[in-house]
Amino acid sequence: MSDPRIIVALDYATANDALQMADQIDPKRARVKVGKELFTRSGPSVVTDLVSRGFDVFLDLKYHDIPHTVAKACAAAADLGVWMLNVHTLGGAAMMEAAREAVDSASTQPILIGVTLLTSMDQTTFEQIGLSGNMSDTVIRLAKMAKSSGLDGIVCSAQEASALRENLGDAFQLITPGIRPAGSDVGDQHRIMTPKQAIEAGSHYLVIGRPITAASDPMQALADIEKSLL
């Protein structure tokens, strides 16, 4: 695929385990995601190892700090050669604008996206942290702020993709975790969709972990998901 829609979440504790899984995946067929545990335990070298294997890497660290600190972190991530990185929209417009400026000034310009509300969040948690109203309306409001701050897209639940596409247009990219093929284990996700439902709703890229990485044949699992999108 010239523009693979699937991002495989390498949610492992060690670089060795992550790279062993990556070696079972064709980098022309899928991108990969490096999250907090793997990056914290293994450091930037796991990212550069994946890049050297030909993978587009989504560095999923959800930067959320004062604007200067986030800008420096985004510049450092760009220097690693990542394809995509993210910040948390709850950091505010000034923080996102600083991230945008840092990425634009880097030697390579990764896609810069924002996290709105985590797909593990339900209405109870939403209210416990002091937010009120409708979760979907909050996601749209945060997404509009991200777009006006210069971000390329957001991470969101596929259940919000249709409304986001209507409000923000086709060019604003939607990256959706919480994707589960029909019949697979839901795990700790609440707001989920199947891959086909997510694409039809307007998602650009799908983050999928255990349905691929826990399969006995990861490439076959990937192929089955690809087939479901046709």
33 has binding-site annotation = yes
29 has binding-site annotation = no
Provide the whole-model pTM.
Answer: 0.92
11 has binding-site annotation = yes
- Give me the domains of the chain, ranges plus CATH numbers: 6-228 (3.20.20.70)
* Count of residues in the chain: 230
147 an active-site residue? no
pLDDT at 192: 62
217 an active-site residue? no
What average pLDDT does the structure give for the chain? Answer: 93
88 has binding-site annotation = no
60 an active-site residue? yes
For 170-211, write each residue's pLDDT tens digit: 999 999 987 877 655 555 445 568 899 999 999 999 999 999
Q: What average pLDDT does range 81-99 have in this prediction?
A: 97
188 has binding-site annotation = no
Q: What share of the chain has pLDDT > 70, as a percent?
A: 95
Catalytic residue among 65, 72, 144, 224: 65
